[in-house]
Chains A and B, each alone.
Chain A
């Protein structure tokens, strides 16, 4: 069954024809105000995806493992915040992970054909056999999500459980979430659900409660209900106005002007090597140069 062209809307370093029929857009909604920080989502993600995070150490926080990694695709981040308006302590707990952007910076940055794909339902997925481990997706991501494995030099992140979704199941994290702070469905339904949650929060005195679905990346397929939607950055640095890095815009431009409908692996690798110093590092200089190039373009 030739469903590739039907369901893919984007493919890294390649072009795909517009799908004949689009699947309904899906979304995972994370209601931070209902979250109890129990890490069931982390646990379920590890088990479903057969991940093996290392046993680390306590570094003065409940946050463990300490960071996202090739074996940690989702992570609870804990912030102790004194609300200046009420004088009360608030323990803000946000589940971090891939946002599945409508306009995915990782995919746009990726030079390896078919290593990152986006389905018409909104899921952005990594195809590991096509991945060259260049790390450019890391730089392309406005949320700092993908991580490169030191074992196989491939990039890893949340798949939104594409294997479960394709079998009619919600993502493992949403299934497990004890308080159903994480729910999954069509993006439309999730927005309606969010409206109800926001109304409840406003009735409890959170006047700035709102939905996080940032326009700078075309909206996301992982959204948050925040009690303080006017200050997303207090939730462990959730960006207020995320946007794709200028470097990525240049790379996108380069391919376009080069007229490369399909970029070969070697060429892509070469280009990336030219742009980045290490496997997954973009220097400030690169960023500045790219910004200049962009201005000229």
Chain B
């Protein structure tokens, strides 16, 4: 989230699209109801299903899953054509005026540079024209035909209200009503917040769904302001934290990158990370990259990371592919190219697409380790559970080691919420049986592995033998010790910059924030963006002061928010070019003539002059990007692509199936179904009564929503002879499930390009362990393909068939 949960109270309009906040995040949704009750805010819900979010909306508009880009580009087209644009913001704070290189173009659903064989683009034309002074060329009059604004205008012109209705199935009058309400927030005194989640990410073009809304929010001037923003509602309690700390194949903590093998040495690695400003006077904050990287290496390898060995650059593994994401991991496993797998929590058998492939893949492992507080289907993938898991244990040679862990109530530490608040919690209960904390288990694995390498030798052991492990009890580091490492500390005395005879920070002291980090090895920091969380002032994550001057919803003294306790990202954009708040009633920070100050920690250098230094300090341009240059694999603007399994052909690019640059594995292509065989558009989702695959273990939640079901319209039920509460079979090219049928008015056929599209809704919470009735869940059916940029599986749009099953109804 750019903003926080408590900031939603400041909005005028909430758009829930690509999510279902009332069901998945009820206590965060509270702030939507507060904004409605106290500010007269309005709520729009756009979803294939009339959800519980829709039940309290002022306006609900149906949409076919997988067509969000057409809808969003349609809204942008509406705003541009009706002149509903926050012009001062758009001109000053976005790249609307930047000139794009000659040679860039778009036709028939493809940008310039496409290579069909590689399913990839040569993105070299997707960039700004650079002038002789080394800066990007701009045309502030927006007259140049190749300025971003004119390219955008041309790009979205396709998506007329009629075209939106054809693609999305959203009736034109509903779509126009949505447009009208959204367009009103182009006023500097009105804001809109976007609340989205996996309904946008779980598509083969998920990243571009989000970009579509971000672009809309930028031209409306709704980013960086109170009650505005792009608010990704993360699904799990610390998935924000795990991503921040870089627990992904291609990341280092704080969104630094694991080197690729073409970056053969540290100098090469840094050569593409200079981040020279693209416009005069801009901060381009990533210019500090080296400080963060070197400080991380010092946290990893301590004294063994030296300037002489490039701070142990070689000890980091180097990537030969863009990423070893979960889909690639299970593909490799399926090919027999992996031997071991450790699941620290998580339940891939239920959570990953194409369950049959997952079982086959896990069966090829030599060993599987599962750390979890609860039984999981994954830990028991080899066990026969009749039709729910029809395997023969004697034919599965995988050794499975199951390790019992503590749960939240029995451990201490911090979690990072969607709004980037890092909150500390304390243990309250004695763990059951022999359950142990994850920290203890990881320490044990490291200590024992290190001992074996020390004793026996083996493959390159330096990074293991020299891992910095400075804990009082090496067998069981404390959460506080680890938190202090995340914050960062002085490795040796750091002299004062102005008076070298003085020490600015003594060896061993915690750095105050990442501003103190250095690229010479004198500081160590586990995760630069978390710096400040546990400094010499103490554990700031444990702060519990509820004061909130003027009720802005910032709560600056409650816990700690990254970065540097900032609550709203890009908050400099809440003020105009002179530094005055766009909306005096929603003041956030303002320029007082000499510095920035206000209710939040300024997201700009405190003395940066407002008419010179632009708000988007992480971009070398200093402004935000309506045109993303070459940052995304599938284009600098979003294009409507159909899901890989779609009930209709792509009307804007009929020759293209799915996202033209999404990665496809051979065996998976053969397992895509067509609408001839599988006529119905399926989607999977959560219900409010359950959390993922966990609460089926909880007797209370099992009673509140006991049994796997699918939801269909009365029209489809009639067509197929399905009765409410009856049993059905649903199948795709990859598998088959049985479920109860909930026949509902909340799902209606959508008319897309003149033909009805029936939606089949498949909630995900059931499995073969736990207190609820045994059930299948949707992932026996879902396709094995991910988003072109970050490989999030396409769980939200695929094809199935459905038929009634004989047998008793309820």
- Cα–Cα, bound, A91→B745 (Å): 9
- Per-position 1/0 for A25-39, Cβ under 8 A of B: 000000001111111
Q: Which residues of A contact B810 (CB under 8 A)?
A: 57-60
- Cα–Cα, bound, A36→B704 (Å): 15
Q: Does A3 contact B (CB under 8 A)?
A: no
B361: shortest Cβ distance to chain A, in Å?
31
Q: Does A5 contact B (CB under 8 A)?
A: no
Residue of B with least CB distance to A40: B26
A177: shortest Cβ distance to chain B, in Å?
9
Q: Does B740 contact A (CB under 8 A)?
A: yes
- Cα–Cα, bound, A33→B55 (Å): 9
Q: Which residues of B contact A58 (CB under 8 A)?
A: 705-709, 725, 740, 742, 810
In contact, B55 and A93 (Cβ under 8 angstroms): yes
**7 smallest A-B Cβ distances: which pairs?**
A60-B725, A60-B724, A178-B26, A59-B810, A91-B55, A58-B707, A36-B22
Interface residue count on the A side (C-beta < 8 Å): 41
Interface SS, A side = loop
Give 27 CB contacts A-B under 8 Å.
A36-B29, A38-B23, A38-B26, A38-B689, A39-B689, A40-B26, A47-B700, A55-B699, A55-B702, A55-B703, A56-B706, A58-B740, A60-B725, A60-B740, A62-B705, A64-B703, A88-B60, A90-B55, A91-B50, A91-B746, A178-B26, A178-B27, A178-B29, A178-B30, A179-B26, A179-B29, A196-B37
Q: Does B556 contact A (CB under 8 A)?
A: no
Within 8 A of B (CB), among A127-141: none
Q: Which residues of B contact A196 (CB under 8 A)?
A: 37
- Cα–Cα, bound, A39→B687 (Å): 11
In contact, B703 and A54 (Cβ under 8 angstroms): yes
In contact, A36 and B53 (Cβ under 8 angstroms): yes
**Given A58-B707, A203-B40: 9 more A-B contacts, CB < 8 Å:** A35-B56, A36-B688, A42-B704, A55-B771, A58-B740, A59-B810, A178-B26, A179-B30, A200-B36
Q: Does A121 contact B (CB under 8 A)?
A: no
Q: Does B764 contact A (CB under 8 A)?
A: no
Q: Which residues of B contact A197 (CB under 8 A)?
A: 37
Partner of A39, one of B37, B688, B699, B706: B688
In contact, B740 and A46 (Cβ under 8 angstroms): no
Q: Does A80 contact B (CB under 8 A)?
A: yes
- Per-position 1/0 for B670-690, Cβ under 8 A of A: 000000000000000001110
B310: shortest Cβ distance to chain A, in Å?
51
Q: Which residues of A contact B743 (CB under 8 A)?
A: 60
A106: shortest Cβ distance to chain B, in Å?
25
Give the A-B contact count at a CB cut-off of 8 A: 124
Q: Contacts A37-B55, A52-B699, A179-B30 given; indicate if A200 touches B37 (C-beta within 8 A).
A: yes
In contact, B700 and A43 (Cβ under 8 angstroms): yes
Q: Does A61 contact B (CB under 8 A)?
A: yes
In contact, B53 and A65 (Cβ under 8 angstroms): no
Q: Does A82 contact B (CB under 8 A)?
A: yes
Within 8 A of A (CB), among B45-66: 50, 52-56, 58, 60
- Per-position 1/0 for B574-610, Cβ under 8 A of A: 0000000000000000000000000000000000000
In contact, A204 and B701 (Cβ under 8 angstroms): no
Q: Which residues of B contact A82 (CB under 8 A)?
A: 745
- Cα–Cα, bound, A144→B345 (Å): 45
Q: Does A180 contact B (CB under 8 A)?
A: yes
- Per-position 1/0 for B744-781, Cβ under 8 A of A: 11100000000000000000000000011100000000
In contact, A80 and B706 (Cβ under 8 angstroms): no
A55: shortest Cβ distance to chain B, in Å?
5
Q: Does B163 contact A (CB under 8 A)?
A: no
Residue of B with least CB distance to A71: B703
In contact, B703 and A80 (Cβ under 8 angstroms): no
Residue of A with least CB distance to B703: A53
Within 8 A of B (CB), among A63-115: 64-65, 80, 82, 88-91, 93
A21: shortest Cβ distance to chain B, in Å?
35
Residue of B with least CB distance to A196: B37
In contact, B701 and A43 (Cβ under 8 angstroms): yes
Q: Which residues of B contact A204 (CB under 8 A)?
A: 58
Partner of B56, one of A33, A59, A80, A203: A33
Most buried by A among B23, B40, B704: B704
Within 8 A of A (CB), among B281-326: none
Residue of B with least CB distance to A81: B745
- Per-position 1/0 for A1-44, Cβ under 8 A of B: 00000000000000000000000000000000111111110110
Q: Does B33 contact A (CB under 8 A)?
A: yes
A46: shortest Cβ distance to chain B, in Å?
5
Partner of B773, one of A55, A60, A65: A55
Q: Does B741 contact A (CB under 8 A)?
A: yes
The interface size bin for chain B is 35 or more
- Cα–Cα, bound, A47→B700 (Å): 8
Q: Which residues of A contact B745 (CB under 8 A)?
A: 80, 82, 89
Q: Which residues of A contact B37 (CB under 8 A)?
A: 34, 196-197, 200
- Cα–Cα, bound, A183→B697 (Å): 30
Q: Contacts A57-B773, A57-B810 given; indicate if A80 touches B700 (C-beta within 8 A).
A: no
- Per-position 1/0 for A174-192, Cβ under 8 A of B: 0000111100000000000
Residue of B with least CB distance to A47: B700
- Cα–Cα, bound, A180→B32 (Å): 12
Residue of A with least CB distance to B739: A58
In contact, A55 and B742 (Cβ under 8 angstroms): no
Q: Which residues of B contact A39 (CB under 8 A)?
A: 688-689, 704
Residue of A with least CB distance to B59: A88
Partner of B772, one of A38, A55, A89, A178: A55
In contact, A89 and B50 (Cβ under 8 angstroms): yes
Most buried by A among B36, B50, B703: B703
Residue of B with least CB distance to A197: B37
In contact, A36 and B52 (Cβ under 8 angstroms): yes
- Cα–Cα, bound, A195→B810 (Å): 42
In contact, A60 and B741 (Cβ under 8 angstroms): yes
- Cα–Cα, bound, A261→B740 (Å): 55
In contact, A36 and B55 (Cβ under 8 angstroms): yes
Q: Which residues of A contact B26 (CB under 8 A)?
A: 36, 38, 40, 178-179
Residue of B with least CB distance to A45: B700
Q: Which residues of B contact A52 (CB under 8 A)?
A: 699
- Cα–Cα, bound, A35→B741 (Å): 25
Q: Which residues of B contact A61 (CB under 8 A)?
A: 724-725, 742
In contact, B27 and A64 (Cβ under 8 angstroms): no
Q: Which residues of A contact B688 (CB under 8 A)?
A: 36-39
Partner of B744, one of A36, A64, A80: A80
Q: Which residues of B contact A60 (CB under 8 A)?
A: 723-726, 740-743, 810
Within 8 A of A (CB), among B707-731: 707-709, 723-726
Q: Which residues of B contact A47 (CB under 8 A)?
A: 700
Within 8 A of A (CB), among B1-47: 22-23, 26-27, 29-30, 33, 36-37, 40
In contact, B56 and A36 (Cβ under 8 angstroms): yes
- Cα–Cα, bound, A151→B83 (Å): 69
In contact, A36 and B23 (Cβ under 8 angstroms): yes
- Cα–Cα, bound, A179→B810 (Å): 33
- Cα–Cα, bound, A57→B746 (Å): 21
In contact, A46 and B700 (Cβ under 8 angstroms): yes
- Cα–Cα, bound, A197→B34 (Å): 12
B6: shortest Cβ distance to chain A, in Å?
14
A238: shortest Cβ distance to chain B, in Å?
17
Residue of A with least CB distance to B709: A58
Partner of A56, one of B33, B52, B700, B703: B703
- Cα–Cα, bound, A203→B38 (Å): 13
In contact, A43 and B741 (Cβ under 8 angstroms): no
Most buried by B among A82, A178, A196: A178
B256: shortest Cβ distance to chain A, in Å?
37
